[in-house]
Structure formats: C-alpha cells, structure tokens
Amino acid sequence: MQHIVYIDALPKNALDAASKFSANWLPSIREQINAGDSYVLVLPDAAYDHADWRRAAIRDLARTYAPTRLNMISGGDDAAITSTQNYLSDAGGVTGQYLPLSRRGDS
C-alpha cells in the first residue's frame, strides 16, 4: 500500500525549513510508518539550497525503515505529482530518492 504525505508549507530559508521539517513533520511521519508499505512525501517547491537536506532526510529515513519504501517529491504541477506517485507505486526497487519535479512547460 502506498501512503501519500503532503507537507504543505515550509520556510523559504533552507536551514529554517530543515529545522521545521525535523521538528514538526518527522515525528508524525515516523509514527505512521508500517513495515512493508510505501510512502511518498510531497513537499512544496523550493530553491536549490534545499536539495541537500531533503536528500539526506529521505535517504536516512529509507535506510532506517527498510524494507519500507520512502521517497520524496517536490514542485511540479498536479499532473506531474500524480504521474510520479503512480510510477513510484509500481517501482518496487526505488527508495530513498528525492525527486524534484518540473511544471509543464518548464525547462
């Protein structure tokens, strides 16, 4: 079963966003995790300097809770988010990935 966790708002500053994610979201995500399920965390789009903490967070969550699959996506429009969620639901070997998405027409 794939669970989708929407994380609605984070600060624009990368350090503040990482801190808020760790304090406000991470505890509830950890409580929800059931072995064998799949989770996709959907974060709002952010500047390039957020990529490092996001990669580290999802990588470490996936390692800690293996074999549960955990991935993170951000940005994109509704179609890109839905398409990526559908892909991840069928991609049994994909875990610990941060996937920043583009909006249609972005290059």
- CA 25 to chain CA mean position, Å: 11
SS (H, E, C) 15-31: HHHHHHHHHHHHHHHHH
Is residue 58 within 8 Å of 96, Cβ to Cβ?
yes
Nearest-angstrom CA–CA distance, 32 and 81: 21
pLDDT in tens, the chain (107 residues): 999 999 989 999 999 999 999 999 999 999 999 888 999 999 999 999 999 999 999 999 999 999 999 999 999 899 999 999 999 999 999 999 999 998 666 55
Q: Which residue has the tokens 């079963």?
A: 1
Nearest-angstrom CA–CA distance, 22 and 30: 11
State residue 102's pLDDT score.
84
Which domains does the chain carry?
A: 2-27+36-101 (3.40.50.720)
State residue 107's pLDDT score.
54
Nearest-angstrom CA–CA distance, 62 and 95: 6
